Every structure is written in C-alpha cells, then in structure tokens.
Structure 1
Amino acid sequence: MHPPHQQRAAARRTKPIGSLRPSRRDYRDLPRSWGADLLAGITVAVVALPLALAFGVTSGLGAEAGIVTAIVAGIVAGVFGGSHVQVSGPTGAMTVVLVPVVASVGPDGVLIVALAAGLLLVLAGALRLGRWAGILPWPVVEGFTLGIALLIFLQQVPMAVGVDKPEGENTALVAARALVDWAGDGWQPLALVALVSVTMIALPRLHRALPASLIAVGAATALSELAGLDVATIGAIPASLPAPSLPAVDVADLPGLAPAVLAVAALAAIESLLSAKVADGMSDGEPHDPDRELVGQGLANVAVSFVGGMPATGAIARTAVNVRSGARTRAATIVHGVVLAATVLALAPAIGHVPLAALAGVLMVTAVRMVEFATVGRIVRSTRGDALLLLATAAATVAFDLVIAVGVGVALAAVLALRAVADSTSFARQTIDQTAEEIVVDPLLERALLQEHIVAYRLDGALFFGAAQRFLLELTEVADVEVAILRLGRLRVLDSTGAQALGDLVEHLQRRDVTVLLACARPEHERLLRHVGALDALVHENHLLPTFDAALAHAHRHLARNRERRSAAVAS
C-alpha cells in the first residue's frame, strides 16, 4: 500500500484532461464568502493599480499595456487557473525579460512572445508537468529573486533621475549611462521618488490596511500638479479597453524570439507555482492544482496577446494581499479585474498626470521588498555551496538573462549535489576483529595468517563517475595482501563509470597477485557489471559470491592452498 501523498500524486497524474477545466465546484463556498471575496477583490485592485501602471511603463509598452494585462490576465487566470486565491498580472520579473524584446523587435514582438509562451504553458499543463516546477533548489530560487530585484531597481534609474533611457540591453550599463547623462542636473524627479519611498515605508507602520503605494502615487501626482514640477508623466491613456486583434507575426523575427519565449514560459511557470504554493500556506482552503495552474496562466498569456498586453504570471504580493483580505474563492480575482476596468474607464484622464518618477519610486521600494534579507543571510551562512549557488544565480541574472541564470543555477546545483553524493561514498576497510561478530571464522585457519593477508572493504553509498577516481586511488593502496574482498551489498548507486572503475581495480590488484572476490552484489548491479565487462576481469567466475560468509570461506581455502604450495616449494 502506497503512502497517501503518493496516492494523491498518482491520482493527479491519471486525472482526465477534463479536470483541467473550470467547474461549479470552484465556487461552492461563494454563498458563504461572497462578502469577503468582494472586499478582497476591491482591496487587491487598489494595490494592483499603481503596480500595473509601473510595470507597463518599465517594460517599454506603456501604462495601458500594464492595466490591460492586470485586467485580462487577472480574470482569465482566476477562472481557469489551479489556485482559488491566486492573483495574476504583470510582474517585475517579466519586465526584465521584455525590455530587451521591446528594444530589439518592438511591441509586436512582445505579443508574439506572450502568445507562444502561453501555448507552451497550456501544453505543459496538459502533459502534467506542473509537479516538476518545484524541483529548483532553494538557493537558486532566492538567487534568482535577488537578481531580478536588482534588475528591477536598476531599470528605474532613468525615470528616477528624469533622463531619457539610454540605448542598450544590459540593465546595469543602461543605469550607469543614465546617471552619467544626469550628472546632478535636476532634482525634481528624485524628490518625487523620495516622497513615494517614504510614504510607502511609513504608512504600513501606521496601519497595515492602508494602500500605501496608491496613496504614495496620489501624493506625488498632487504635489507635481500643484507645484508645477517639470517632470515626465504617463500621458494620455485610452478610457476604454482595446478591441481584440491578432498579433502581427513576422516570420523572420520568430527565431530571435525563441529565447524570450522560453524565458517567459519558464518564468511564468516558476513564479506562478511558487506564488500558488505560498498562497496554500497562508490559506486553509483547498491546495492548488499545479497542472491546471499552468493551463490557466497559459490561457491568460494567450488572451493578453490579443488585446495588446504583456506576459503575465501569478503575483506573490497581490496574492498575499488577496488572502489576507479574506478571499475564499475565485470571485475575488474576478472582482479585482472588474474593479480595475471600472477604474480605468472612470479615471483615465487623471491617470495620465501620474509622474513617471512616482512609478519609479513604487518599483524601487517593491524591488527592495522582494528580497528577504534574513533568508539570504541564512543561505549565505549555511554552506559554501549554497552561498555559491545563490550568488552565482544572482550574478548570472544581472549579467546575462533569466534563462541563462536558471541554467547556471540548476547546473551548478547538480554539480554540487553530485559532489556531495560522491563525498558521501565510503570505502571502509574492515579488519578481522571488526567482522568477527558477523561471521564464523574457520577454527582450522590461523588467525594471524588471516589477519595478515586478507583485507575486506565495504562499499557504502554511490559508486558513479563522481566517486570512481577516488575509489581507485583509495583501494589500490592495499599492501602485503593476498585476498581482497569487496562487499557491494550496501552500494546503493552504481553507474557504468563506477562499474568500469571496479573492473579496472580488479585487474590492477590481480596484476599484483592479489585475488579479488566480489560479494553481496545486488542483482541490478551484477547485471550492469556484466554488461560493461567488469566481471570479465575476475580470474574465475566463482570469485563472484552471494554472501560475505561465502567470500571469506573462499578466501580461507585460497590462503590454505597458497600456504601448501609455498610449503611444498620450500620442501623441494
């Protein structure tokens, strides 16, 4: 009988495709929770509005794209996704991927990326790949988050100092050029950034329920208008949602967009499932379905590609606000989208007066809050390997792109894991005193002779390519030995390299006139040893023995024969 968690995992893998669709069951708690869901949806919309504006502007697509994405993706992912309380929309991590796409291909390239990535996510969900998104090591995720937070902060530098964004795709270099262009000329944008930052930090200390980012943007906009500050603003935005249309696809651009598509799909999967997992821990409701969540996020990205939006994903901060505000069903995320749409229709002229520097301040504070400094400190202090993972992933995120960063983090984690497994492999040399309690020693054999000329090694752990060389170095140091017994019963992992190394060791010892006996090999390991030819190195097929007792008895007989031959040779 399998444990309950294994039964549930197996049940998820065998669910029909229909289980990925919405159902009436999604809203079974609505009659009891509609009031809390309504309040939570309104609260999340208030929090999401300035973030949607800021992410749209930062991506290079404009504030309208951010708002449209928050509305459409929020509703579509809320209806079709695998979490009852997940809130989706534009995020800072996505802007990191999109800025180079906008710079190289233009806004239409982003729509193609959103469409293709969305289709990939739907396919991944249909193939039941959701459970695999949680295999990223903790230091890699935190390093990834640290790098993204740094990039988001640096992306705001041109708007924060009030200069046009310099040319270039590397965010750090662009930020440095922006500071050179600014050179202390004009402090009004920085004053607005400071006002927004102080407001966002101070208000939650007064009352956690206050929408600090919205109040901060409102205060900065009012100050800018009343004082007549010469700062750039969002500008006019449409007072209606765009009509759906097909993305303009240029076949020549598709190969160049492939890395961005993979990055967006991977990021949407990782961020959404991580956010949904966090929501599960905060809520006492039903846990999320990872496969359905991938389908929901995929459909949301497909939908935004038809309305001029930007790729979306589950947003941890907005999801946390939703849960803390009492959300119980998907109705809260739907209300959030509807309230955002109504706000845009009613306040479009006022939104156009929002200073870009105010949005830069919002995202700078958001970027700092993304980093859990206590968590980073714990990882850095844990082990050197984990610290290296975190720092390498963060550095690769800033220096290259998200796909390379994840690849670097996972590859380095794999290398460190293999090294740890290899280091855990032990080759324990056993003396006769150590094994006396486990076996019956032949009383006719002299113990001194046995102790002097037989050595037994017990191989524990894993013998694979990471440990094979150390295995050879350690076990070829035996001296003044006639029989070497290698106990393989506790060997859990054996690959072809390890099997070949074992065969090399047998040949090496036998060239030194040491008889090698293999004992207790598992059936699967014995098959591998035969397939790679390692057993062919044994002097005789009887030197592969099922138990250590049998091997030791064989060693006794071998030593006795050798002693008889030596005695006969001396007598003659």
Structure 2
Amino acid sequence: MAAPNSYSAATLRGDLFGGLTAGIVALPLALAFGVASGAGAAAGLYGAIALGLVAALFGGTRVQISGPTGPMTVVFAAAIAALGGSFQMALAVVLLGGMLQIIFGLLKIGGLVRYIPYPVISGFMSGIGVIIILLQLAPLLGASPSPSPLQALARLPDTLAELNWHALVLGLMTFAIVWFTPMRISRYLPSPLLALCLCTLAAVLLGWQVPVIGEIPTGLPEFHLPQFSLAQWSLIFTLGLTLALLGTIDSLLTSLVADSITRTRHQPNKELIGQGLGNMLCAFIGGLPGAGATMRTVVNVNAGGRTRVSGMVHAVFLLALLLGLAPLAAQIPLAVLAGILVKVGIDILDYRLLKRIQGTPRPEVVIMLSVFALTVLVDLVIAVGVGVVLAMGLVTWRMAKTAHIHLEDDELLDVPNDPEHPGVRLVRLSGPLFFGSMAQMLDRMDKVDQVMQTRDIVLDCRGVDYMDLTAVFAIEDMLQKLQQKKLRPRLLLDDEALRQRLLGLQSNVFTEQTLCTSVEQVLQDCCNASDGR
C-alpha cells in the first residue's frame, strides 16, 4: 500500500472512480452468481460486500476487487446439492475453506501457485466456463434450472419443451448488449449494467411474464451459525479444501494480472490471509464465497483505482445498494442474468491455449483435455487431482529420459587385464538419479555380473546432478548384491557433500573404501585389492 504521505487528491479521485465502476460491474454479477448457486441473489450481494471489504483491508494486493466468482459459485452450488440442500452445512464448507486459506498464508505457501502446470489451470478454467454455460441454458430459455451440468444436458429436451420465448428474447438481447457494446460506451457505463437496466426495463414495460429474482431481503444480513456433522465431515472437509484451493488459485492468478498492469508486486501470503478472513465472514452472514475477480480488478485499475481504498469503495457502494435499492433488483428477469453469465462463461474459456493447441506437445494437450472432461463430467476435486498427478508423471518421465547409464571396459582405469588382474567394469552414470530413473539403472546393472573376468565394478557418479533417497537405497541394495557375488564395487564421487551424506547413513556398504573421490584412489584400490586376493 502506498505510504500515507503519498496519498493525494488525485489518488483518492482515482480510487473513488475505480471502486464505483467496479461496484457497478459487480452488482449484476453478484446477483447472478447468488441465483446460480441456489442460495439466492441476496447471498451473492452479501458475499461481494463482506469479502470485498475484508480482502481490501487485509489482503496483499492493493487494487484487487474480490467477490463471488464463477468457479467458487460452482463449488458452493455443488456443496449445497451434495449436503442435501442444507444451507447451514454449506456455510460450514465456506468457514472451513476460509480457515484453510488462512493456514495456507501462515505456512507461506502462497507462492506455490506459480508451480501449478498451465495445462491443468487451462483445462480447469475452460471446464468451469462450460459448466456455467450449461447451467444457464435452462434460465436462458425460461425453464427451471438444473443443479449439475450433466442433468442440464439430460433435461435439455424437457427444457426445450418449457421454452418461454419472452425469456429467450431477453436473454439474447442481454448477451448481444454485453458482447457488442462499443468500448467508448463501456468505459463509462459497463455493458453488464447497461444490459441489466435496459432488458429489465423492457420486460417490465412490455409486461412479459418471465421468471424473476423475486424478493430480496432489505437491511443488514442475519447472523448464521454454520453447522458441522460428523457423518458428513469427510465430505465437508473435501469441499472446504476444494474451495480453499480454488480460491487460492483464483485470487493469486488475479493478483499476478494486477501486478502486470500496475507494475507492482503483491504479497501472496498476506493475500491468502485476507481472502480467508473474508470468506469466514461470509460463512457467518450467509454470503456466497469468493475470490479475487479478474474482470472487476481490471475494471478497477482501468478506471483509476490505485490503492486498497478502491476495493473498500466497491464494497460500501454495494452495501448502499442493498440497503436502499433492493426492491428494484427483485424485478430483474433470470434470463437477463443468464445472458450475463453465459458471457462470463465464454470469457473464462482459455482461448490462449485453444488457439495454439495444434502446436502444443501432445502429452500436455492430453492433460488439459483430461482435466477439462473431468471438471465438466465428474468432479472438480478429482479433475485437479488427476491433472496434477498426470503433470507430475509427465515431468518424472521427462526427467528419467535425461538419466544416462553407459557400461564400458577399461576406458577410465588403466588396470592390466590379465589373469592376475581380472577386468574392471566401468559404469558411467549421469543426470538425475531418482525414483523415476532407477528402474533403468537396475536393469542395466543386472548384466554386469554376467560379464566374465570382472572383479572390480566402478560406478562413476561424477555426472550425477541429483540423487534422491530412493536412488540411495537402490544403490545400497545393488552394492550389497554385487558384494555377495564376490565382486568389488566402488562409487566414484566428486561431490564431497554427497559423499558425507552417504557416510552419514552408517551403512556397511557406504564406507571410506567404497566411496572414492578420485580416479587415482580408484586405481590404487583396484590394484591393492587384486594384489591382496
């Protein structure tokens, strides 16, 4: 945050315009996300106000605008459905998610988000976009909504049978306004708000009978006490962890976008603590959980927002609307909100990767498509978990390919090869030795004892740049096996730290005699061993 003595009237003016503009953009989105979640429009506003204010006060990104987002809404809706429609237990999921975010921040793991492979993020976000679009098909057509994307597809014939032409026209009008409004107009009047006002006014004036939001409670939200159930604890924890991870990823990615625009650096761990506190407050007031919202953050910056004051202005503006203008929002048609959300779903799709999919390595495309399919058809948690495991497997396979093992005779050691001095088998190892490459090494080493006239086995590890515990134990077992076959194995190391680490294991195999540090030492040991047979 800027220093107090650098906060000027111009900065205040920019924060006011930025916060007000972001609040105007957030209003229809918060209402739409609230309705889409099944908790009601008011829950969307409560979440936008609580999270927007707390994250602005305690977060680590100066210009970030926080509130309900598409991915978080999908998870919360899934929580309500999975917990039998219990809103109080769904709030327990939000409370747990906020607590986990705070723990993430205290453990300083906020910077780890940059290590999530891009194909996983791409497939997940595109899957979320498709879910939003599928869930909004029914409201767009004037029919009753479905709780899951699969059910939305299965009920498509029934949805078409319930088609309300007035609702469809309103939805298409909304989508057209949001999509085609020129930038010179959107700069002063955001297209979602323009579409919300025009299409709602048209529905009222024309007297069209379409499903609407309905009554929104006025005044401050009521206190809610989240309810935990031991019988459902495993499910609550899983969903809470999903919210925490998704909110962490969503918020920190938005923070990176804000950094690139403002040329600043956010504090990721502080941001997680602020987001966690905000989501915990949402759990106690019945608000929708959320995260840093990319579109609203960009709108804030473009409108002049420069400090966390802009995020506070955004939240206070929404609170004023809730206290004074709730009756007007009750007449907003659900088809209008559906048109806005369909545009949000389309924007979430990762066109950056889709445009370059032909030139993308096939394994990474498989990871992206797998995460995408699992996100839409199965489960959000499974999708991310499978994606990360596949990405780790790909990295392991690629690293294993860089490990090289060569078997050579008498190239390094000038030991006489005669009956009195049996041959020396040299094994050159290079690259990383870890669990992924040890199978290759063990397969090759099985051939060593099949070579006649071999007494001394030298493993040249000077080209090894990494050795994990799996490799250490595998080499120890291999050396023991060679010794049992009356062979004399040695390791040639030039990494003194690795040598001391092996000696520190207090193994009968890793000794001063078997761990050599130079070619001369290996040569001398081989000759001494041959002379002393």
The TM-score, its normalising length taken from structure 1, stands at: 0.82
- Which residue does 1:389 correspond to in 2? 367
Please give the residue correspondences for 1:337-376 in structure 2 after superposition, counting only pairs within 5 Å.
337-376=315-354
Moved more, 118-127 or 26-35: 26-35
Question: Given the alignment of the two structures, is residue 179 of structure 1 paired with residue 179 of structure 2, yes or no?
Answer: no
Q: 1:306 to 1:499 in 2, by over 3 A?
A: closer
Mapping of residues 25-44 of structure 1, within 5 Å = 25=3, 28-44=6-22
What amino acid maps onto 2:383 in structure 1? A
Using the TM superposition, give the Cα deviation of residue 379 of structure 1 relative to its aligned residue in structure 2, in angstroms.
6.0
Give me the whole-angstrom Cα distance separating, in 2, the residues matched to 1:520 and 1:531: 15
Q: Distance in 2 between matches of 1:389 and 1:369?
A: 21
User: 1:18 matched to which residue of 2?
Assistant: none
Instruction: Decide whether aligned partners of structure 1 residues 541 and 292 sit closer, same or farther in structure 2, where only a CA change above 3 A counts.
Output: closer
Moved more, 461-470 or 543-552: 543-552
SS at match of 1:194: helix
Give 1:253-332 correspondences, 5 Å limit.
255=233, 256-285=235-264, 287-332=265-310
Q: Which residue of 2 aligns with 1:4?
A: none
C-alpha RMSD over aligned residues: 3.2
Q: Displacement of 1:527 after TM fit?
A: 5.8
2:101 counterpart (105, 108, 121): 121
CA shift for structure 1 position 308: 2.1
**Matched ranges for 1:118-267 at <5 A:** 118-166=98-146, 171-186=148-163, 187-204=165-182, 207=185, 209=187, 210-242=189-221, 244-249=222-227, 251=229, 255=233, 256-267=235-246
> What is the rounded CA distance, in whole Å, between the counterparts of 1:365 and 1:73 in structure 2?
24
Q: Return closer, same or farther for 1:239/1:511 CA change in 2, 3 Å cut-off.
A: closer
Shift of 1:144: 1.7
Q: Matched residues in 2 for 1:509 and 1:377: separation? A: 55
Q: Which amino acid aligns with 2:192?
A: S
Q: Who is 2:431 aligned against? A: 461
Cα deviation, residue 150, structure 1: 1.6
CA contact (8 A) 1:481 1:514 kept: no
Equivalent position amino acid for 1:422 in 2: A
Contact 1:30 1:329 in 2 (8 A): no
Indicate the larger mover: 465-474 or 421-430.
421-430
* Change in 2 beyond 3 A, CA 1:525/1:309: same
Q: Matches of residues 439-454 of structure 1 in structure 2 within 5 Å?
A: 453-454=423-424
CA contact (8 A) 1:469 1:501 kept: no
Deviation at residue 503 of structure 1 after TM alignment: 4.1
2:95 and 2:21 map into 1 onto residues whose CA distance is: 30
Amino acid at match of 2:248: A
Q: In structure 1, how many angstroms separate the alpha carbons of the residues matched to 2:64 and 2:5? A: 14
What SS class does the counterpart of residue 491 from structure 2 fall into? Answer: strand
1:71 aligns with one of 46, 49, 72: 49
Distance 2:208 2:225 in 1: 38
Find the aligned partners of 1:133 and 1:30 in 2 and give their Cα distance: 34
Inter-CA distance 224–306: structure 2 relative to 1 (3 Å threshold): same
Instruction: Give 1:298 deviation, angstroms.
Output: 1.5
1:59 deviation in Å? 0.4
For residue 73 of structure 2, what is the aligned residue in structure 1? 95
50-59 vs 404-413, which moves further: 404-413
Distance 1:471 1:379, change over 3 A: farther
Q: Aligned pair in 2 of structure 1 residues 389, 531: CA closer, same or farther (>3 Å)?
A: farther
Given the alignment, which residue of 51, 54, 58 partners 1:80? 58
Give identity over the alignment, percent: 33
Using the alignment, how far apart are the partners of 1:430 and 1:526 within structure 2?
23
Opposite residue 256 of structure 2, the aligned amino acid is K
Determine the structure 2 residue equivalent to 1:549: 520
Q: CA deviation at 1:224?
A: 1.9
How much has 1:416 moved relative to structure 2? 2.1
Paired residue type of 1:155:
L
- Deviations 1:167-187 (CA, angstroms, capped at 9, x unpaired): xx5x22221233121234423
Unmatched runs of 5 consecutive residues or more in structure 2: none
Unaligned ranges ≥5, structure 1: 1-22, 566-572
Question: Is the 8 Å Cα contact of residues 500 and 534 (structure 1) preserved in structure 2?
Answer: no
Q: 1:542 to 1:109 in 2, by over 3 A?
A: closer
Q: Give SS of 1:229's match.
A: coil
Equivalent residue of 2:181, what SS?
helix
Superposed displacement of residue 485, structure 1: 2.1
2:416 matches 1:423: no
Q: Please state if 1:488 is matched with 2:466.
A: no
Structure 2 residue corresponding to 1:111, chosen from 88, 91, 95: 91
Q: Secondary structure at the match of 2:64?
A: coil
Q: Report the alpha carbon displacement of residue 542 of structure 1 after superposing the two structures with TM.
A: 3.6
Q: Over residues 131-179 of structure 1, what are the superposed CA-to-partner deviations in whole Å (9 max), with x where a residue is unaligned?
A: 334332222122221121121112212212222234xx5x222212331
Residues 1:246 and 1:26: Cα distance change in structure 2 (over 3 Å): farther
SS of 1:322's equivalent? helix
Structure 2 CA distance for partners of 1:481 and 1:364, relative to 1, 3 Å: farther
Matched residue, 1:3: none
In structure 1, how many angstroms separate the alpha carbons of the residues matched to 2:5 and 2:314?
Answer: 16
Provide the rounded CA distance (Å) in 1 between the counterparts of 2:486 and 2:95: 69
Q: Helix, strand or coil: the match of 1:317?
A: helix
Measured after TM superposition, the shift of residue 510 of structure 1 is: 6.2
